[in-house]
Amino acid sequence: MRMTESQPEKKIIVIPAKKESPQEQAKKRNLRVAAYCRVSTGDEEQLTSYENQKAFYTEKIMKNPEWTMVDIFADEGITGTSTCRRKDFLRMIRQCRQGKIDMILAKSVSRFARNTLDTISYTRELRSLGIAVIFEEQNINSIYPESEFLIALHAAFAQSESESISANVRWGKRQSIKDGKVTFQYKTLLGYEKGPDGNPVIIPEEAETVRRIFEWYLAGKSVRDIRLALVAGGFQNAVGTTDWTTSNLRSILTNEKYCGDALLQKTFVKDFISKKSIPNTGQLAKVLIQNNHEAIISHEIFDAVQLELARRRAQDGRSRKSVPTGRGKFSGKYALSGLLFCGECGTAYRRVVWTQHGENVRYGAARAVWIMAENTV
């Protein structure tokens, strides 16, 4: 008869936790701590809060013997719905990724971010790096996974509050537009400054530059040629430099404020999180206020420039990509530039260059007409 072997007795062995070494204990006693502060506007009350936050965290970190202060990261007058323009916040995250920070102090979840996705994404990343974010107002430590629910909850409330504030601001702006209230961006508006009564006042020297730009364009100069002429002549732009750009000049040529009018709601913010302005192409009503302020140029000149802009765009190959014979942008460099057009498709003729025996041979507009006509037969 076969005997069965007895089953060994089940034993439970508890492996004690590893004791921290003196070096690890010293590391914990000397945590590298940073603080993040933010205010969303430049109001005096908010700026006072901003300075108080910085002073409070500087004192708090310096008083704790087990902490070493890394830096106080602070963004002033920046919205919390997006991290794109929060330079100090992004600098703090970079230092965290470089292993230079062990813990971050923040007043509240809303000061850290007002975007639920950003809040969760960054706290998760920092947790994976072993970095805790302490939200003092809510008494939350993000290093613990169970804290994520509370963080998400407070972040959602902060985002909802921001959305409500944004909606109120948009409503207020649209009411101002309906009432005909015009806001001027004097820092970027060449030729005007704010007068004692709050209304725009013409700056004679800058106004002369504006008139030259409109006159040169009507005389046949391209935007590029005008830019070169302004730089060569030492003319200053709205910010006081001679660094002119073609986009800046196009903005001047299409700005109705120079003829005394004001077109309101040309752009609008569709998404309160990104706060990106997009052109109003009919989604919202526009309001045109005529003779709102003193004009630098006449309505006749302004209208003539708009027609010329439209004409040059029509012959610009980039604006008609579907037309195979479309050619590059307008140039007023030559005598016949923009004066000869194809009778079939309406495309403007331009100078062309062929190479014969290694030398460039230039043909005039008449030669180009003959060759293009020959190719269409």
Query: What is the CATH classification number for the domain harbouring 111?
Result: 3.40.50.1390
Q: Do 111 and 216 lie in a common domain?
A: no
| 143 and 234 inside one domain | no
Q: Is residue 107 part of a domain?
A: yes
Cα–Cα distance for residue pair 18/44, rounded to 1 Å: 53
Q: Are strands 132-135 and 277-279 parallel, antiparallel or unpaired?
A: unpaired
Last residue of a domain, one of 306, 330, 348: 306
Q: Is residue 99 located within the same domain as residue 197?
A: no
| Domain co-membership, 262 together with 234 | yes
Final residue before a domain boundary, out of 306, 331, 360: 306
Instruction: Look up the pTM and report it.
Output: 0.54
**78 and 46 in one domain?**
yes
Is 169 domain-assigned? no
Q: In tens digits, what is the pLDDT along the chain, a chain of 377 residues?
A: 555 567 788 888 888 877 665 555 545 558 999 999 887 654 455 556 677 888 888 999 999 988 999 999 988 766 545 666 788 899 999 999 999 999 999 999 988 888 888 899 999 999 999 999 999 999 999 999 889 999 999 989 888 887 787 777 777 777 777 777 888 888 989 999 998 988 899 999 999 999 999 999 999 999 999 999 999 999 999 988 999 999 999 999 999 999 999 888 888 777 666 667 788 888 878 888 888 899 999 999 999 999 999 888 877 654 444 444 444 455 555 656 666 667 666 666 666 666 666 565 554 444 344 344 444 43
257 occurs within a structural domain: yes
Q: Give CA separation, 82 vs 117, 134, 273, 275, 296, in Å.
A: 10, 20, 6, 8, 39
Residues 38 and 63 in one domain: yes
Continuous H helices in 179-290: 204-218, 223-233, 246-253
Q: 263, 283, 306 — which closes off a domain?
A: 306
Count how many domains the chain has: 3
Q: Are residues 50 and 144 in the same domain?
A: yes
- Supply the pLDDT for residue 327: 45
Q: Which domain holds residue 366?
A: 321-376
The DSSP bridge partners found for residue 99 are none
- Residue 249: CATH number of its domain: 3.90.1750.20
Domain match, 197 and 76 both:
no
Same domain, 286 and 337: no
Q: Do 325 and 302 reside in the same domain of the chain?
A: no
Residue 80: the pLDDT is 46
Q: How far apart are CA 299 and CA 261, in angstroms?
A: 9
Whether the CB-CB separation of 186 and 196 falls below 8 Å is answered with: no
Q: Clarify whether residues 95 and 131 are in a common domain.
A: yes
Establish if 171 belongs to a structural domain: no
Q: Is residue 175 part of a domain?
A: no
Task: Identify whether 98 is part of a domain.
Answer: yes
Residues 127 and 120: their CA atoms lie apart, in Å, by: 10
DSSP letter at 40?
A: S
Q: Which helix (H) or strand (E) holds 262?
A: strand 262-264
- 146 and 241 both lie in a single domain: no
In a domain, 150, yes or no: yes
Residue 364 covered by a domain = yes
